[in-house]
């Protein structure tokens, strides 16, 4: 994929399809019905389509993917993926709709489908491990602008009015995993932490009481007192990594997406986690990030309703 928006794959559907085939099928066509590899015959009468020699069904590169049955041209899908991956804080549906020339409603559906592609569908193992530090913190996102400054004060309570609690786990020098949680009680936080973090990890949190007991279950537990002088007490004892991630997340949710309903929040978290995990500091450039996102359109079912989705969650 070129990093220039003038690339043919962003305006020519045949080029877009060829790019996607090369990218998703490095070993030859894979039947979207039965999964048979490289045992298909190209259909001369139907460009981009193949007949599987095993199950005899016809398929294209998008059959069995998140792009299946979409009426949006493939070139538009690739451009949308590239733009979403190149925008650190995300990109509003309105702006995307203007830039790619697809209706607002269709753009809204496309963006949620790309967020689904961003979801890590590989059942990844736990974060951290021996000699690794995992920072954990919770924040509140969404809701009205006027509530924004109350978020930090609401810490430790059962969620703020109109705001949704998010728990993020970040391995230093590694990846982030964010979850929309029902509340920030010790039990809820523990459920996420003990399943997502290797117990050989060194845990780093603030002094919220919920973490005290959970910390005993890990190799070590350091705490940072936000309110004291020791905010950046030392090279080691800090939660700057997870706070840095929250900073990007909040600027995106508040400044770009404006309003994110609790119903859809987990999808936006997939988007922000994905960009962070494929960040340039780890050597991933915009085009590689978009290619990675597009590889995520396979192996996923559409888990949301295809019709009746309301397109009014973003201002
Ligand atoms: Zn087949």
Beta bridge partners of 58: 51
Per-residue pLDDT at 161: 60
Compute the distance from residue 300 Cα to the ligand 1 centre, in Å: 18
CA distance 124 to 297: 17
Per-residue pLDDT at 227: 63
- 304 contact partners, CB below 8 Å, separation of at least 6: 112, 116
Compute the distance from residue 62 Cα to the ligand 1 centre, in Å: 14
Per-residue pLDDT at 74: 97
- 6 contact partners, CB below 8 Å, separation of at least 6: none
CA distance 126 to 131: 14
Compute the distance from residue 64 Cα to the ligand 1 centre, in Å: 11
CA distance 140 to 260: 12
| Per-residue model confidence as pLDDT tens for the chain (315 residues) | 555 788 999 999 999 999 999 999 999 999 999 999 999 999 999 999 999 999 999 999 999 999 998 999 999 999 999 999 999 999 999 999 999 999 999 999 999 999 999 998 777 789 999 999 999 999 999 865 444 444 444 444 444 467 899 999 999 999 999 999 999 999 999 999 999 999 999 999 999 999 999 999 999 999 987 665 555 556 788 899 999 999 999 999 988 998 788 889 999 999 999 999 999 999 999 999 999 999 999 987 654 444 444 433 332
Compute the distance from residue 59 Cα to the ligand 1 centre, in Å: 8
Per-residue pLDDT at 306: 41
Residue 50 has φ and ψ, to the nearest 5°, of -135, 155
Compute the distance from residue 30 Cα to the ligand 1 centre, in Å: 8
**DSSP of 175-238:** -EEEEE-S---HHHHHHHHHHHB-TTSEEEEES-THHHHHHTTSSEEEEE-TTSGGGG-SSSS-
């Amino acid at each position: 994929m070129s990093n220039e928006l003038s690339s043919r794959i962003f305006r020519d559907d045949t080029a877009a399809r060829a790019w996607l085939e090369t990218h998703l099928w490095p070993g030859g066509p894979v039947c979207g019905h039965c999964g048979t590899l490289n045992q298909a015959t190209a259909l001369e009468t139907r460009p981009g389509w193949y007949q599987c020699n095993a199950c005899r069904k016809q398929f294209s590169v998008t059959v069995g993917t998140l792009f299946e049955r979409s009426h949006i041209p493939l070139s538009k899908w690739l451009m949308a993926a590239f733009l979403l991956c190149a925008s650190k804080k995300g990109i509003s549906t309105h702006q995307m709709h203007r830039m790619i020339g697809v209706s607002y409603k269709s753009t809204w559906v496309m963006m949620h489908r790309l967020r689904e592609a961003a979801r890590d569908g590989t059942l990844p193992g736990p974060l951290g491990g021996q000699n690794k530090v995992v920072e954990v913190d919770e924040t509140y996102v969404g809701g009205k602008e006027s509530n924004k400054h109350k978020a930090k004060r609401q810490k430790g309570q059962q969620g703020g009015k109109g705001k949704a609690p998010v728990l993020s786990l970040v391995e230093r020098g590694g990846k982030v995993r964010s979850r929309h949680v029902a509340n920030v009680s010790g039990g809820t936080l523990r459920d996420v932490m003990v399943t997502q973090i290797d117990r050989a990890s060194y845990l780093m949190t603030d002094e919220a009481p919920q973490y005290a007991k959970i910390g005993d279950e890990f190799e070590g537990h350091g705490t940072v007192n936000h309110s004291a002088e020791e905010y950046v007490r030392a090279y080691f004892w800090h939660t700057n990594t997870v706070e840095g991630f929250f900073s990007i997340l909040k600027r995106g949710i508040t400044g770009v997406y404006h309003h994110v309903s609790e119903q859809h929040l987990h999808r936006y978290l997939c988007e922000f986690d994905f960009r962070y995990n494929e960040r340039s500091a780890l050597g991933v450039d915009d085009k590689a990030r978009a290619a990675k996102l597009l590889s995520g359109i396979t192996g996923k079912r559409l888990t949301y309703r295809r019709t009746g989705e309301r397109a009014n969650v973003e201002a």
